[in-house]
Amino acid sequence: MSPSKTTKSSSQSKISLTNPSIPLNSLILVTGCNGLLASHVADQLLAAGYRVRGTVRNPDKCSYLTSLYSHRHGGPGKFELVEISDVTAPNAWDDAVKGVAGIVHCVGATDLTIQESDSAAQEELEWQVGLLEAARRAGTVKSFVFTSSAWALWMPDASKKVTLTEQSWNEDAVALARDKNVDPKTKGMAGFMALKTLVEQGIWEWVKREKPGFAFNTVLLDTVLGECLDPKNQGIPSTLGMVHWIWENKHMAIIDLMEPQWFVDCVDMAKVYVAALASSPKVDRERLFVFGERYSFGEVARLLGEMFPERTEKFGKPKKEGWDQTEVPNQRAEELLKRVGQKKGWTGLKESVRANAESILRLEREGGTGAPQSTYAR
């Protein structure tokens, strides 16, 4: 069965760019293109009028992306796959960056069990900086958007009132990860949060020191919910998969570890990437809080029960209660979302949960394992 176009939610509109800082039909590099984030970014770049070169570890296993985008965007020729089997190899990125006008970088570590965050960050920074240096050598890159994490900002805790700013860093996680007097078993995901913090800090240090000629911004993402573009081939990946867990009443112990925090819809997220990369006036040297609304997995389960009452008894019942009290400066990212045509701003939780559920139903209809494909992250 060929991929089907998904109807946009009531709050979402087609992406459009006015006087873009990168001319339409330019070639944009998107790394890790088979992943949840990157697949949506590529989709919105193509919708906006760009050509896309997507990097993957194994093009043969990801060939479905070519037919997916051809179907969604009126035929072949606008999207190409390139292989980078080892991002840590010397000059791994050089061929991929040739002739590109912009880069959206979505590849990063996803191992939540990391304990030695300092050594892991040093290792990751070598190949992350390798892409920045390759972009500078290419001489054609006008804009670069780097994917970071909300966990580089703070450790979510629904019991605390916190105000985050562009100068916020998760130093609490770094200190806890480094504390040899604390049992590693009690540190939770502090090591992973520390890794995200240290990597983004290291990237900004490089940018401030080297002063590359291209625009540079980081996107800070919390939980991403919504539509999967191709469930049969992608599964229900990343945090979309947590909604799938509730749907199937699996891995609820992990769900119960997740604090209420913020989420963003997949399509909204991708549009902000495009706006940061190429909208006019140019966006440069900013940390963008791509946070749509507060959520909890308890509320997600409640909404699923409201939408599918016949399935309610089968859904998992998250135990975590409360509501996030964190204040975040997400107005700038919402401004960029509106700049590319989405005048109503962020998509609401109910719409995103419905899109997430429709992807699960599509997976059930079309088959597939439901297990997400791996990207480069280790």
For 297-327, write each residue's pLDDT tens digit.
Answer: 999 999 999 999 999 999 999 998 899 999 9
Closest CA to 190 of 137, 92, 115, 123: 115
- Asked if residue 151 belongs to a domain, the reply is yes
Residue 59, number of CB atoms within 10 A of its CB = 19
Place of tokens 């000059």: 91
pTM of the model: 0.94
What per-residue confidence (pLDDT) applies to 228? 98
- Asked if residue 310 belongs to a domain, the reply is no
What per-residue confidence (pLDDT) applies to 1? 31
- Average pLDDT of the chain? 93
> 109: pLDDT confidence band, cut at 50, 70 and 90?
confident
Determine the average pLDDT of the residues in 149-160. Answer: 96
Q: What is the dihedral of CA 149, 198, 209, 277, to 10 degrees?
A: -10
What per-residue confidence (pLDDT) applies to 9? 59
What per-residue confidence (pLDDT) applies to 369? 55
Of 3-17, 47-61, 241-255, 307-321, give the lowest mean pLDDT range.
3-17
- Asked if residue 107 belongs to a domain, the reply is yes
- Asked if residue 144 belongs to a domain, the reply is yes
When divided into structural domains, the chain yields a total of: 1
- Asked if residue 248 belongs to a domain, the reply is no
Residue type (1 letter), 367: G
- Asked if residue 375 belongs to a domain, the reply is no
Domain region containing 64: 27-226+264-292+326-342
Q: How far apart are CA 100 and CA 97, in angstroms?
A: 6
156: CATH: 3.40.50.720
Write the pLDDT tens digit of every residue in 242-271. Answer: 999 999 999 999 999 899 999 999 999 999
> 10: pLDDT confidence band, cut at 50, 70 and 90?
low
> 207: pLDDT confidence band, cut at 50, 70 and 90?
very high
- Asked if residue 170 belongs to a domain, the reply is yes
Q: Which residue has the higher pLDDT, 281 or 6?
A: 281
- Asked if residue 367 belongs to a domain, the reply is no
Determine the average pLDDT of the residues in 44-70. Answer: 97
